[in-house]
Chain A
Amino acid sequence: MPNVSVKVLLFATFRKKYGSKELIIECDGTIKGLINSVSNVLGREFYDDVYDEKRGMVRDDLIFAINGRNIKDLKGNIGLKDGDVVAIFPPLAGGLSPHTL
């Protein structure tokens, strides 16, 4: 597994809840791996807050961006590189809201 170093930025209520707004995290370069590595620092709850275990992907109702690009807009295999910046916003800043316009 490659070892990559990623900057993780937390926003809004995540900051209060986890007492942190910026972390440098070493991980295996996958998104799930990154979330796991952050959970090792911040606790298991973080994993549940961000990852949808059932669907095997980042929770649909939050904004998870790599270098400013929401992963929902990225195509193909999404991996992380050394020096990437990951921004995570809890659902209260947007995310999916299941109603039709």
Chain B
Amino acid sequence: MPGGYMGKILRVDLSTGALRTEPILEEVARKYLGGKGYAVYILYNYLREYEFKGISPPDINPLGPENVLIFATGPGTGIPGFPCSGRYHVMALRSPLTGSIGSANSGGEWGPFLKFSGYDMIVIEGASEEPVYLSIVNGVAELRSAGDLWGKNVFDTCRILSRRVGGKNTSVACIGPAGENLVRMACIVNDEHRAAGRTGLGAVMGSKKLKAIVVSGDEKVPVANPDEFREVSRRCLETMRKNRVTGEGLPTYGTSILINVINTAGGLPYKNWQTGVNPYADKISGETLAETYLTGRRACWGCTIGCGRVTSVPSGPFQIIGTEGPEYESIWALGGSTGVKDLDAIVKANHYCDEFGMDPISLGSTIAAAMELYERGYIPKEDLQGLDLRFGNSTALVEAVWRTAYRVGFGKYLALGSKKLCEIYGHPEISMSVKGLEMPAYDPRAMKGIGLEYATANRGGCHVTGYTVSVEILGIPEKIDPLTPEGKAKWAKLFQDFACVVNSTVNCLFSTFALGVKDYADLLSAVTGWSLSEDEILRIGERIYNLERVIINRLGFDGKDDTLPRRLLEEPMPEGPAKGHIVELERMKEEYYRLRGWVNGIPTAEKLKELEIEL
């Protein structure tokens, strides 16, 4: 077994209660690393098996026992000195929110502790009849009743299970009421405030009656070449320390430093993307958060950046003592997109998202879509049942969060996500989503590349699949004009491929503000003992992205779905530096498909062969 791996995958069949251990296969790891890559490989094999049994992939019910859920770490996870290696990736064959592949990533301590418990990955199929939780302690896995935990919120579940299981390096990943209630944007939360947020994977756990996974242990992750690793690690950590973003910006302000940066560029979506300029941006910015509610910071396991925010709202109607966040995306979705400018209400709404287990990006965006529907007269007032969903109403925002988690009143519609909600009310164009996944906080009319990226992201409207904002706005590793569509395809592809490497390593994407492909090649070579070149690293990333694409093709997604909401393609930005701009998507997409070797969003046989993907 190469270094970096514990060498074991736990297979769980919740329908029968059977648990079995399988080895990590070196030939698969060499091609797909671990984390997202290895999970995509496993999911593809499930899909093939289903097809062989005569089940058509589009018939797979995301909330049925046939859906498969994978928790995965990679060879970098949990190694002291490996930059930002406290993360894990979760994937599902289908997302209940989008119908496309489910994919999300989380920090905290759970990922490393899974490895310390003796496993690299957990593959879960079937569904239990009664609520259960999975416990893995030093290599011993057990399913136990979660009857007493069902109905409990995330914080209580984490605390009770940590105590119950005890031991060294114990961490709990669980769902809250939202996941139990099959809310489509329910997420999986670990360590109370860290979440595998996107694509509704909490609802998949809920549908399987799996309340939590507790991991605990003190095994060490082997490193193939410790001396070489020490040297590369020292170099990389030094680079990150000296880098102004990873060494100072993120530690001081967290991700919300971006609120003012993106608003200045005219790309901070306001009131459900009706414009990209928020007149109140400074009131909800990282600077304001630092001056008001910030009380400390918290890092994921082994991370030297520590971008997590610890906050408190000491008094007032939105009082909350001792919470974490909100991050840039959460502030924007719960605040900017809804027009809410009271930071205390945003902190509280974000706290509820953690407590009940929901993705603030999709939830905030769905609330914002409801606000636009309502203000345009498309939702009758009586449907809202007293929830006054006007833009900027902070009380309604906070109320909408818990109503959604419990599917109370209008919450039962919000719980479906913006796409379904807008379809129900006859105006699908109001949903600011791609493939059913609500887009995050960057308006592509003000930065064209991210529009191409949203459109072509396999999991749907997502920024971290390939963060072109880095070159368009931040100037990392070089600066290109955000307002031109020229040259964006190359960057979208490169970032998407590289992000696959990071999410298969698994460590944190934020390290890439300072570290490049060569650093990853060196780190992974030292850890695994393979000698990986930069080209090979990117080829692995490209392979993962293409196999993931093959899966979504089989699920029914192709070029027609690689698109953006009509607003971004047809309504010119009304004000700010991007005034008059729309997204020239088709032009960029054509170049992108050419670079990818895809036709109509489908990888060609030659491309798959070139990448050594055997179908």
Contacts and interface: CB of A to CB of B under 8 A. Distances in A.
Contact of B474 (A90, A94, A98): A94
A68 B265 contact: yes
Q: Point out which of A11, A13, A101 has the most chain B C-beta atoms below 10 A from its C-beta.
A: A101
Contacts of B494: 101
Interface stretch (B75-83, B174-182, B195-203, B245-253): B245-253
A95 interface: yes
A89 B261 contact: yes
Contacts of B476: 94-97
Contacts of A9: 264
A27 B136 CA distance: 67
B483 to A, nearest CB: 7
Contacts of A95: 244, 474-476
Nearest to B249: A92
Which bucket holds chain A's interface residue count? 20 to 34
A101 B261 contact: no
Interface in A45-64: 61, 63
* Interface class of chain B by DSSP: helix
Interface string B380-398: 0000000000000000000
A93 interface: yes
Given A61-B244, A73-B482, A100 B287 contact: no
Interface in B458-495: 473-483, 494-495
Contacts, number: 110
A99 interface: yes
B265 A101 contact: no
A40 interface: no
Q: Point out which of A21, A65, A70, A72 has the most chain B C-beta atoms below 10 A from its C-beta.
A: A70
Given A96-B475, A97-B243, A68 B513 contact: no
A9 B239 CA distance: 30
Interface string B543-587: 000000000000000000000000000000000111000000000
Nearest to A75: B481
B577 to A, nearest CB: 3
Contacts of A73: 479-483
A90 B480 CA distance: 19
Contacts of B248: 13, 91-92
A98 to B, nearest CB: 7
A97 B245 contact: yes
B545 to A, nearest CB: 15
Contacts of A63: 261, 264, 473-475
A44 interface: no
Contact of A12 (B253, B481, B512, B576): B253
Q: Point out which of B287, B475, B476, B518 has the most chain A C-beta atoms below 10 A from its C-beta.
A: B475
Nearest to B266: A68
B358 interface: no
A99 B515 contact: yes
Interface in B489-547: 494-495, 498, 512-519
B211 to A, nearest CB: 40
Contacts of B517: 100-101
A3 interface: no
A75 to B, nearest CB: 9
B216 interface: no
A74 to B, nearest CB: 9
Contacts of B265: 65, 68, 70
B114 interface: no
Contact of A100 (B245, B477, B578): B477
Contacts of B477: 96-101
B134 interface: no
A80 interface: no
Contact of B260 (A70, A89, A92, A101): A89
Q: Point out which of B479, B482, B517, B578 has the most chain A C-beta atoms below 10 A from its C-beta.
A: B479
Nearest to B253: A12
Interface in A66-84: 67-70, 72-73
A13 B249 CA distance: 9
A95 to B, nearest CB: 6
Given A61-B244, A63-B261, A99 B514 contact: yes
A89 B252 CA distance: 14
Nearest to A94: B474
Given A72-B475, A100-B477, A101-B516, A92 B244 contact: yes
A19 to B, nearest CB: 13
Interface in B233-268: 239, 243-245, 248-250, 252-253, 257-258, 260-261, 264-266
Interface in B142-180: none
A70 B476 CA distance: 14
Nearest to B494: A101
A72 B484 CA distance: 13
B503 to A, nearest CB: 16
Nearest to A96: B475
Given A96-B476, A97-B243, A11 B513 contact: no
A101 B537 CA distance: 11
Given A12-B287, A99-B514, A93 B249 contact: yes
B264 A65 contact: yes
A38 interface: no
A96 B475 CA distance: 5
Given A94-B249, A96-B478, A97-B513, 8 more contacts: A21-B287, A65-B577, A70-B265, A72-B479, A89-B261, A92-B257, A95-B244, A97-B477
**Which 6 pairs from chain A and chain B are nearest by CB?**
A68-B577, A92-B249, A94-B474, A91-B244, A73-B481, A99-B516
26 contacts: A12-B249, A12-B260, A15-B287, A65-B264, A65-B265, A68-B264, A69-B577, A70-B473, A70-B475, A73-B480, A73-B481, A73-B483, A89-B261, A91-B245, A92-B245, A92-B249, A92-B253, A93-B249, A95-B244, A97-B245, A97-B514, A99-B519, A100-B518, A101-B495, A101-B498, A101-B517
